[in-house]
């Protein structure tokens, strides 16, 4: 591949990423925004957006696929299958929150619409189940807790934490993991 071809490909990839990032910002504020508004936010001509994405639906699908790849990379970077469970739980949480905060609109799309996106989400869910099973085996989760229930609670906590768009992902992750592992009650009044 020639230097010119490589430079053109790199430039095209940057343009696509710029459009995707602008679309996330614009659609997060106004889900009904037009392709023209997205092009303006990206600093490119409307024809450039249409050349890259045949329709608004194609753009949203590309955003969802991009965000899903970032989501999977965030989980991978924490090495949840080999890192000690408590450390992995915190790292996965912080990394995933970064993606969910930065790509909230795209991450809110239904994963089943695109088979590849659905496959990535299913793979991440399996890895999370393994992490929760490892956490239980290591004594991070109580032995009497259904680790699949704990995972569902964890997902709900992640969803709610990601709503804090200006929150620090590391601080949110610490609060989330603390809430998951310690709860919010004192235990008083329980028999």
Residue 7 has what pLDDT? 52
| Spatial separation of the C-alpha atoms in residues 146 and 136, rounded to whole Å | 9
Task: Say if residue 114 is in the same domain as residue 164.
Answer: yes
- Model pLDDT for residues 109-130, shown as the tens digit of each residue: 766 678 888 899 899 999 999 9
Residue 142 tokens read as 């109580």
For residue 25, is it within any domain? yes
For residue 2, is it within any domain? yes
Task: Say if residue 87 is in the same domain as residue 2.
Answer: no
Task: Say if residue 147 is in the same domain as residue 78.
Answer: yes
For residue 187, is it within any domain? no
Give this prediction's pTM.
0.84
- C-beta contacts of 50-57 below 8 A and 24+ residues apart: 52/15, 52/16, 52/19, 53/19
CB-based contacts of 44, cutoff 8 Å, min separation 6 = 15, 18, 19
- What's the mean pLDDT in 9-17? 82
Q: Which residue has the tokens 């970032």?
A: 70
Domain CATH number, residue 46:
1.10.10
CA 79 from chain centre, in angstroms, equals 16
- What's the mean pLDDT in 57-85? 93
Position 62 confidence tier, pLDDT thresholds 50, 70, 90? very high
Residue in 49, 41, 50, 37 with CA at minimum distance from that of residue 21: 41
Task: Say if residue 82 is in the same domain as residue 162.
Answer: yes
For residue 106, is it within any domain? yes
Residue 112 has what pLDDT? 62
| Spatial separation of the C-alpha atoms in residues 184 and 176, rounded to whole Å | 11
| Spatial separation of the C-alpha atoms in residues 31 and 35, rounded to whole Å | 11
Task: Say if residue 2 is in the same domain as residue 91.
Answer: no
Residue 164 has what pLDDT? 82
Task: Say if residue 22 is in the same domain as residue 67.
Answer: no
Domain CATH number, residue 71:
1.10.357.10
Task: Say if residue 49 is in the same domain as residue 67.
Answer: no
Residue 148 has what pLDDT? 87
Residue 10 has what pLDDT? 66
CB-based contacts of 115, cutoff 8 Å, min separation 6 = none
Domain boundary among 53, 68, 91: 53
For residue 189, is it within any domain? no
Q: Give residue 112's domain range.
A: 60-182
Round the average pLDDT of the chain to a whole number and report it.
89
Residue in 177, 185, 173, 189 with CA at minimum distance from that of residue 150: 177
* CB-CB contact of 172 with 161 (8 Å): yes
Angle between helix 147-161 and 169-182 (nearest 10): 150
Task: Say if residue 47 is in the same domain as residue 124.
Answer: no
pLDDT of 8 > 60? The answer is no
For residue 111, is it within any domain? yes
Task: Say if residue 156 is in the same domain as residue 71.
Answer: yes
Residue 114 has what pLDDT? 81
Could you tell me what percent of the chain has a pLDDT over 70?
91
When comparing pLDDT for 186 and 137, which is higher?
A: 137
Task: Say if residue 132 is in the same domain as residue 115.
Answer: yes
Task: Say if residue 25 is in the same domain as residue 93.
Answer: no
For residue 117, is it within any domain? yes
| Spatial separation of the C-alpha atoms in residues 29 and 160, rounded to whole Å | 18
Position 5 confidence tier, pLDDT thresholds 50, 70, 90? low
How many domains, the chain? Answer: 2
Residue 15 tokens read as 């343009």
CB-based contacts of 135, cutoff 8 Å, min separation 6 = 85, 86, 89, 141, 147
For residue 129, is it within any domain? yes
Task: Say if residue 143 is in the same domain as residue 81.
Answer: yes
* CB-CB contact of 105 with 24 (8 Å): yes
Residue 190 has what pLDDT? 65
């Amino acid at each position: 591949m020639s230097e010119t071809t490589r430079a053109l490909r790199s430039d095209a990839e940057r343009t696509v990423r710029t459009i995707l990032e602008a679309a996330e910002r614009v659609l997060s504020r106004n889900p009904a925004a037009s392709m023209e508004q997205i092009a303006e936010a990206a600093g490119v001509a409307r024809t450039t957006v249409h050349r890259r994405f045949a329709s608004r639906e194609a753009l949203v699908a590309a955003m969802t696929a991009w965000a899903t790849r970032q989501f999977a990379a965030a989980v991978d970077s924490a090495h949840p299958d080999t890192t000690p469970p408590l450390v992995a739980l915190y790292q996965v949480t912080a990394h995933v929150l970064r993606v969910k905060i930065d790509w909230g609109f795209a991450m809110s799309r239904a994963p089943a619409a695109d088979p590849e996106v659905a496959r990535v989400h299913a793979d991440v869910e399996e890895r999370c189940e393994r992490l929760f099973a490892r956490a239980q085996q290591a004594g991070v989760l109580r032995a009497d807790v259904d680790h699949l229930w704990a995972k569902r609670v964890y997902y709900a906590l992640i969803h709610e934490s990601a709503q804090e768009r200006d929150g620090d992902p590391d601080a949110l992750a610490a609060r989330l993991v603390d809430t998951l592992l310690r709860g919010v009650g004192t235990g008083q009044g329980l028999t």
